[in-house]
Structure formats: structure tokens, C-alpha cells
Amino acid sequence: MAGWSLLPAFEWLQHTDLAETIRHSAALIATLEIVHLLGLTLLLGTIMMIDFTLLGWGIGRFPASKIAIELNGWTVAGLAIMLISGPLILISEAVKCYRSPAFWIKMTLLALAIAYHFTIHRKAVLAEPALRGNVKLAASVSLALWIAVALAGKGIAIFQSS
Amino acid sequence: MFLLSLCQWVDRTPLSAMLRQSNWAFPALDTVHTLGIVLVAGAIMLVDLRLLGLALRSVPITDLVARIVPATLGGFGLMLVTGGLLFASEAVKMYESPAFRIKVVLLALAGLNALIFHRTIYRDAARWGSAAVPAQARLAGLLSLALWIAIIAAGRAIAYGPGYDLG
């Protein structure tokens, strides 16, 4: 890894006015973290509903595609809330994040989860119930990915290199 | 003060000492508790949004409630167990935490709101059909939504109290 590092970029981020303002306000950090958690609630709540429907634990006769279409706005809203609050939290402690393995694991999982959600997962939702077995696998992967993202996020706070 | 003595007693129990001395017990319980509340509150919010006419409008409310509420009760049990253990590991600190006290009151209000909803207006829910949800039910949904948002906020705020490393 010699000679090439993202560290200067993270140091620069942490020293922007916006990052300094956030870092020096306990109230701002607390608010951002709570908003981030509420975004996750919305995101996981809606995705869980869709995936449980795909797994056959849904509501009677309602197909996952219908549930997913009706919930899509809320899923996207939850994701948007997270993608706005997350980077603001990140820049306020950019160097700490840079040094946190949990942070990089989370970013990798997040990229995978988002890509998966809008491609393979979407196809599975629309294909249901034609491809029962594959659809259940697709739903399990979705749940596992998003929960792993959430756990890695918690890991950033737990595993801190002091 | 009775509650303070009770919390002091809890802190002296072997269970409390065991939880405090373990390096992984608190983070593990905290992680399960946080993930659990996100899932439970996320599911409850879907019912609230449905009552408010903001989501899943084509799904009958009775079907949605029948599917979600039993599952959330199970999840809520898990929250009580993990939350109880987290509390037991630092009972006096929780006694002194304003955020914790607020959270307990909010939880009681959320439970009361749900109980009143199910015992009164919800009895007629099968007859709502595709018609508009009555105002009292919409109010219950709005209250529930607000209370659960506040419960999550208060729960997170406990960690900002004195004696915690904000990281």
C-alpha cells in the first residue's frame, strides 16, 4: 500500500468547516445519529416486510411486488435519510472512520446491498411467485446484507482503536 | 427513596457484576437491543403509516395488524430481556439518567396507546373496509409513530449521558 492512501482525503474532509461545526456540537452529532437510526428503522422495516412476503410469511394473498411497489417511496426515503445523515457523521470523524476496519466493512456491504437491492432483488420481487426457490434465496440474501450493514455500523462505535 | 435502593440492590447482584466485568456482554446486548428496536419499531411504523393512509393502502388494516402485531410482541419480549440486562449492568446510572426516565415513560405511553386502540376503535376495523380510517384510529397511528420515534431518540440519548465515552 506504499505511496497511495486515502488518508489525506479523509484528513481534509475532517477539517472542512462543515465537519468542524458538526464535531464541536454534541447536539448536532446526537441529532444526526438519531436521524440516521430513524432512517435505518424505515429502511429495515420496509425491506423486512418485502422480504418476509417473498419468504412466504407475508399478508395473505398480497404478492411481494405489490407490497414492494406500495412501500417503495418509504424504502427510498429511509435510504435517502441514511445517505444524507451518514456522510455528515462520517466527515465529523473522518480519520477515526478511516482507521476503523468496521467502517470499511460497512461501506463495502452497503455498496453491495444497494447494488443488490436495485438489481437482483428488484428482479426477484417482480418475478415472484414464478421462481419460488430462487426468490426465497434472494430475500434471505437481502435480509442478511442489510442486517450486516447495520451490525457493521454498530461495530464502528464498538471497535474503536483508541 | 425506594427506586434508588432498588437500583443499588440490582447493581450489587452477581448478575450485574458479571455483566459489568465481561468485555463483550454489554456491546453484544446493546447490538441486539438496537437492531431489535429498529426492526420492531420499523414494523410498528408500517401499521401507523397504514392507519394514516400513507402506506400499503390496498392492504386491509386487519390483515396487516394480524401479521405484524404478534411478531412485534415477540420482538418486544426480546427488547425487554436485552433491555433489562443492559439496565441491570448499570442500574444506578440509569436511575440518574434523564433520557432513561423519559424512555420508560414514553414506552408506557406507547403501550397504553396501543392497548386503548385495540380495545376500542379497532374492534370495528373489519367494517372499515376500503372506506376511510376513522379519525380516532388515525390519531392512534400518529401518536404511535411519534412515540416510537421519541423512544428511539431517547434510547440513543441514554448513551450521551454522563459517564459514557462518546467515541
Asked whether residue A126 is assigned to any structural domain, the reply reads yes
Average pLDDT over every residue of A75-100: 96
pLDDT digits (tens, 9 = 90+) for A101-133: 999 999 999 999 999 999 999 998 888 666 667
Chain B residues 130-159 with CB within 8 Å of chain A: 149, 152-153, 156-157
Q: Is the pLDDT of residue B165 over 60?
A: no
Residues of B (19-58) whose Cβ lies below 8 Å from A: 27, 30-31, 34-35, 38-39, 41-43, 45-46, 49, 55-58
Q: How confident is the model at residue B167 (pLDDT cuts 50, 70, 90)?
A: very low
- Tell me, what's the ipTM? 0.89
B166/A62 touch (CB, cutoff 8 Å), yes or no: no
DSSP H helices, chain A, are 7-14, 17-23, 26-54, 64-92, 94-98, 101-116, 122-127, 132-158
Split at pLDDT 50, 70, 90, the class of B122 is very high
**Residue A39 domain flag:** yes
- Closest to A87 in 3D by CA, of A71, A110, A59: A110
Q: How many domains does chain A have?
A: 1
Q: Are B137 and B122 in contact (CB under 8 A)?
A: yes
- Report yes or no on A97 lying in a domain: yes
Using an 8 Å Cβ cutoff, are B135 and B121 in contact? no
In a domain, A2, yes or no: no
Q: Which amino acid is at B1?
A: M
Q: What is the mean pLDDT of residues B52-58?
A: 91
Over the stretch A4-23, which tens digit does the pLDDT of each residue have? 789 999 999 999 999 999 99
Is residue A104 a part of any domain in this protein? yes
Q: How many Cβ atoms from other residues are within 10 Å of residue A42's Cβ? A: 25
Q: What is the pLDDT of residues A133-162, one digit of tens each?
A: 788 899 999 999 999 999 999 999 888 754
pLDDT at residue A59, rounded to an integer: 85
| B63/A59 CB distance under 8 A | yes
Residues from chain A contacting residue B63 (CB–CB below 8 Å): 59-60, 62
Q: Could you say which DSSP state residue A119 is in? A: I
Across the interface, whether the CB atoms of A74 and B31 are under 8 A apart is answered no
Is the pLDDT confidence value at A75 over 50? yes
CA distance B2 to chain A (A): 32
Q: Across the interface, do A37 and B57 touch by the CB < 8 Å criterion?
A: no
Q: Which domain holds residue A77?
A: 9-158
Domain assignment present for residue A1? The answer is: no
Query: According to the model, what pLDDT value does residue A64 have?
Result: 86
The pLDDT of residue A54 is above 80: yes
- Give the integer Cα–Cα distance in Å for B69 and B89: 30
Judged on CB neighbours under 10 Å (0-12, 13-18, 19+), B100 is: buried
Judged against a pLDDT cut of 90, whether residue B145 lies above it is answered with: yes
**How far off is chain B from A153, nearest CA to CA, in Å?**
10
Whether the per-residue pLDDT at A39 is higher than 60: the answer is yes
